[in-house]
Structure 1
Amino acid sequence: MDRIINTVNAYISLSEQEKKYLQDAITKKVFHKNEIIFSEGKVSNEIYFVNQGCVRLFYNVDGKDKTAFFYTTGQYICAGESFTFNIPATENYQAINQTEIFVLTKPKIEKLLQQVPKMEIIARIATENELITCQKLIACFITKSPEERYLDLLNTQGELFQQVPQQYIASYLGVSPETLSRIKKRILDKSRS
């Protein structure tokens, strides 16, 4: 619980009683490697916090799954449109490795907001962070080549290369696994020159 409390404390100070309310609102779940956490077609009524591990966000497109994002330790996850508007989700979340997640359900969030109104700030910050991440991702695909996107990922989230299968990284970068191998080889050759 310390990680999520520290994340909240980075934005607002919680009293011991408020920390207890937060702890009471949270359920811990452990997902095994490749286990689906949430799947498309369902209506989301949960927000997740990755306490440990890695989660892949993907979409089914014409029978193939396309990786859109990776969430790692300390990040919040929410199928935002589904959660907000109570409609079926189009996204899927999968544990890449054994992953420990804290779950906050809508009813528990509503109760927590009554008990600790300043938690609303956390909801706003989580939403803002998700929006900024999405804007950066869109800008990256519009303004950068696959090789530049690969280098950005390597520099900002290099640990993913130890945790995530290559085909998921290739999908995330918008290239085939073969193209990703060629990009890696070109970069390695440049570094040796």
Structure 2
Amino acid sequence: MERYEYFKQFHDISLADYRLLTDNLKPRSFKKGDCITVPGQVQRELYFVKSGVQVAYFDSGDKTYVIDFSYSPNLCAIAESFSFQVPSRYFLTCLTESEFECLSYEDLQTLMDQSRQIERLFRRMIEAMLAGMIDLHINLRALTIEERYKAFCRRNPQLLHLVPHKYIASHLGIDPTNFSKLYNHVKF
């Protein structure tokens, strides 16, 4: 029922609609380093993270740019690829062994046609994701590197021990050397 409580943060979905949704989920697992989605591939499934950490990123030249991390109980997807069924421009890779429950795009569309509650739940989850992306963009432009680091640590302290710091530094727009200094000297 942990996932039920997670969903209720976004929308007060009924237990019947929750069961309708979860009865359609299928288990899936990936090993550390496995790519879930690669550039040019359409993401056909939406993943509900049960365990593990994943990273969405793209490479440009010799640099890697981290877009986001996912972990339990959150959703895991290249949002625009899944939502619009278009080829991804990014990688979605497992940083650790990962367990999921997944739902195909077609099954989700059918469920949203069957239940306004499920449709509303996903709309609100997407709205929350959009708000989080806007906050990240504002933080990248308005906050100092120390403020960005502290904000990340408050939101995601567990990731400091699970994710290579170079990925967190990239996500926060901080040079890896400066990130290391922050990690070693700044308390949050």
Partner of 2:12: 12
Displaced runs of 4 or more, over 3 A: none
- Could you say what secondary structure the match of 1:155 adopts? helix
Partner of 1:181: 180
1:62 counterpart = 2:61: yes
Q: 1:131, 1:117 → 2: CA distance?
A: 21
- Could you say what secondary structure the match of 1:25 adopts? coil
- Could you say what secondary structure the match of 1:44 adopts? coil
Partner of 1:26: 25
Partner of 1:3: 2
TM-score (norm 1): 0.86
Equivalences for 1:14-163 in 2 at 5 Å? 14-16=14-16, 18-163=17-162
Shift of the 3–61 alpha-carbon distance from structure 1 to 2, 3 Å rule, reads farther
Mark the structure with the bigger radius of gyration. Answer: 1
Count of residue pairs brought into register by the alignment: 187
Conserved in 2, the CA contact under 8 Å of 1:29 and 1:100?
yes
Q: 2:34, 2:2 → 1: CA distance?
A: 23
- Could you say what secondary structure the match of 2:23 adopts? helix
Q: 1:121, 1:96 → 2: CA distance?
A: 31
Aligned alpha-carbon RMSD (Å): 2.1
Shift of the 7–161 alpha-carbon distance from structure 1 to 2, 3 Å rule, reads same
Structure 1: tracts of 5 or more residues without a match: none
Q: 1:83, 1:48 → 2: CA distance?
A: 10
Conserved in 1, the CA contact under 8 Å of 2:42 and 2:82?
yes
What is the Cα deviation at residue 28 of structure 1?
Answer: 1.4
